[in-house]
Amino acid sequence: MKLKINIVKLACLMLLSFAGKSQNPIIQSIYTADPAPMVYKDTLYLYTGHDEDKSSWFTMKDWHVYATTDMVNWIDKGVGLSLKTFDWAVKDAWAGQCIYRNGKFYWYVPMNAKGQGMSIGVAVSDKPTGPFKDAIGKPLVHSGNGDIDPTVFIDTDGQAYLYWGNPYLKYVKLNEDMISYSGEVITVPLNKEGFNVRYKDADKRPSAYEEGPWLYKRNSLYYLLYPAGGVPEHLAYSTALTATGPWTYRDTIMTVIKKGGAFTNHPGLVDYKGKSYLFYHNGALPGGGGFTRSVCVDEVVFNADGSIPRVVPTAEAITAPVGAINPFARVEAETIAWEAGIETKEDVSTGVYVIDISNGDYIKVRNVDFKKAPKLFEANLNALSSNGSIEIRVDGITGPLLGTLTVTKQNGWQLQSTKVNKIKGNHDVYFVFKGDGDLFNFDWWKFQ
């Protein structure tokens, strides 16, 4: 996806002055949709769908994984799963969710199955970032063409549940192996008491529920979040005293996003480091819209009675990080709070790294903690041009200059370094790229 043809990259460059301050959408290098956060140990992993550039339909072929320990910098972990993983799938890599149990990670995803239509599969891995493989070689669930958007939840008693569906809402009780279920597929009554009423009744649906359920528990109360109301969608929620209902409609969480919105939305609610966060998607990246969406996040502070307040989408996302970057340890170059122009690539030998770096592109890394003054900056680079350089700045794209790394053209990956000015405290660091043509690939960096 080069600058001349990639609308995401061109748009980010056009928004350079604004982007230096904002952080929603949290991923800018590709279009992402249908966020599914998962906390494992000290890390929050984010599983997303991937809208292809310039799509005029939900053209989606793979799923991506990102990770954070501070809620402001996101590490691109690459493609975690794709349609190619499933021999029985033909298209439509739509909204899924991953969960951990008994030493393994289970990723439930809907796809269009050969001869069946939309079905839900399950992939398994020993690591949260994969590689994942098809767990059973066939769909786990097929009950109708509305088998999309699965959400998975393990209750405190150990019972796991899988909910899904549009226009219906269904669930099964998963077995402990997480790749089979017991009993029948249960259809949830979509009535006024549980899911409000639909004010746009052109499709004659019985309630406001649309799709994309997300099951969550806080204290002893179960929450079911979902896009609602028809198109364009808003986010709403219902609650129950058990994971299977009966459900009571509560309220709207997020109204229709009018400016920079997409006609769909998708919730993902998670607790991390003592705070609660609502993930969703919009169309805010230039070139974005209903089929080219982008994942966002904002903090949620529950009301005293356990109800969810109205969440207003922000451009700033998370203003208070819950961690900091250690600049004296190796930091992957694909650790990004905001970027303009760059993309990422993945291969077996190097992993994920930054590519397509041109003059004026930059990467912003938030809340870098210089506990002591650095003397040297080093980076692992694969130079493609003989005149590239990296300006290392703090607190702004044109902020104080720590130093400039003049990149020497050599064969393959090489560690290159430069002296830097002294600085201490917490700062945002900007890597501003200069030069002509396709400059270099960027794998990792650290200060000495």
Give pLDDT, residue 89.
98
pLDDT per residue, tens digit, the chain (448 aa), is: 333 334 444 444 444 444 455 699 999 999 999 999 999 999 999 999 999 998 899 999 999 999 999 999 999 999 999 999 999 999 999 999 999 999 999 999 999 999 999 999 999 999 999 999 999 999 999 999 999 999 999 999 999 999 999 999 999 999 999 999 999 999 999 999 999 998 776 668 889 999 999 999 999 999 999 999 989 999 999 999 999 999 999 999 999 999 899 999 999 999 999 999 999 999 999 899 999 999 999 999 999 999 999 999 999 999 999 999 999 999 999 999 999 999 999 999 999 999 999 999 999 999 999 999 999 999 999 999 999 999 999 999 999 999 999 999 989 999 999 999 999 999 999 999 999 999 999 999 999 9
**Distance (Å, whole) CA 67 – CA 61:** 21
3-state helix/strand/coil string of the chain: CCCCCCHHHHHHHHCHHHHCCCCCCCCCCCEEEEEEEEEECCEEEEEEEEECCCCCCCCCCEEEEEEECCCCCEEEEEEEEEHHHCCCEEECCCCCEEEEECCEEEEEEEEEECCCEEEEEEEEECCCCCCCEECCCCCCECCCCCCCCCEEEECCCCCEEEEECCCCCEEEEECCCCCCEEEEEEECCCCHHHHCCCCCCCCCCCCCECCCCEEEEECCEEEEEEEECCCCCEEEEEEECCCCCCCEEEEEEECCCCCCCCCCCCCEEEEECCEEEEEEEECCCCCCECCECEEEEEEECCCCCCCCCCCCCCCCCCCCCCCCECCCCCEECCEECEEECCEEEEECCCEEEEECCCCCCEEEEEEEEECCCCCEEEEEEEECCCCCEEEEEECCCCCCEEEEEECCCCCCCEEEEEECCCCCEEEEEEEEEECCCCCEEEEEEEEC
**Distance (Å, whole) CA 21 – CA 24:** 10
Q: Which amino acid is at 427?
A: H
Give pLDDT, residue 14.
44
**Distance (Å, whole) CA 72 – CA 268:** 17
Instruction: Answer whether 54's CB lies under 8 Å from 431's CB.
Output: no
Give pLDDT, residue 105.
99
Give pLDDT, residue 21.
55
pTM of the model: 0.95
**Distance (Å, whole) CA 147 – CA 167:** 9
Give pLDDT, residue 199.
79
β-pairing verdict for 170-174 and 181-187: antiparallel
Rg (C-alpha) for the chain, rounded Å, is 22
- Within 10 angstroms of residue 330's Cβ, the number of other Cβ atoms is 12
- Dihedral sign (CA 384, 386, 391, 397): negative
Domains of the chain, start order:
7-300 (2.115.10.20), 331-447 (2.60.120.260)
Give pLDDT, residue 137.
98
**Distance (Å, whole) CA 382 – CA 384:** 7
CB-based burial of residue 200 (10 Å sphere; 0-12 exposed, 13-18 middle, 19+ buried)? exposed
CB-based burial of residue 33 (10 Å sphere; 0-12 exposed, 13-18 middle, 19+ buried)? buried
C-alpha distance from residue 338 to each of 81, 193, 236, 272, 415 (Å): 24, 43, 29, 21, 24
Give pLDDT, residue 286.
82
Give pLDDT, residue 1.
37
